[in-house]
């Protein structure tokens, strides 16, 4: 089964989910406690809390938590969306080491 996790929120995540659904991927959302009623959470096939107690920005920057959720839930791809982790070489590197493929440039390119 093909699964893609979008490490972002709101409209950015919904746009990724829409495209992924057209490509027959199951979609996985992450959400901060403050976004528990966010539309992206309900547009995904699955949704999981990330960065509990870290606040809305820090939760979406929780690379360890995001990669852990991806591995635990059988996610094959992590899409960083826009902002947050999209230009973070540490996130791409963590994905390369842990197994889920990061959608975007390789860690070396981002560095």
Q: What is the pLDDT of residues 10-69, one digit of tens each?
A: 999 999 999 999 999 999 999 999 999 999 999 999 999 999 999 989 999 999 999 999
In angstroms, the CA 105 to CA 111 distance is 10
pLDDT in tens, 74-95: 999 999 998 879 888 899 899 8
| pLDDT of the residue at 15 | 96
Q: Which CATH class is domain 3-110?
A: alpha beta
In angstroms, the CA 77 to CA 79 distance is 6
Q: Checking DSSP bridges between strand 26-31 and strand 46-49, what pairing results, if any?
A: parallel
């Amino acid at each position: 089964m093909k699964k893609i996790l979008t490490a972002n929120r709101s409209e950015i995540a919904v746009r990724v989910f829409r495209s992924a659904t057209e490509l027959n991927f199951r979609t996985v959302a992450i959400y901060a406690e403050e976004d528990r009623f966010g539309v992206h959470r309900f547009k995904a096939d699955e949704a999981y809390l990330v960065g509990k107690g870290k606040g809305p920005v820090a939760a979406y920057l929780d690379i360890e938590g995001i990669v852990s959720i991806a591995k635990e839930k059988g996610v094959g791809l992590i899409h960083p969306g826009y902002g947050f982790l999209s230009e973070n070489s540490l996130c791409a590197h963590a994905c390369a080491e842990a197994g889920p493929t990061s959608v975007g440039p390789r860690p070396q390119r981002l560095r």
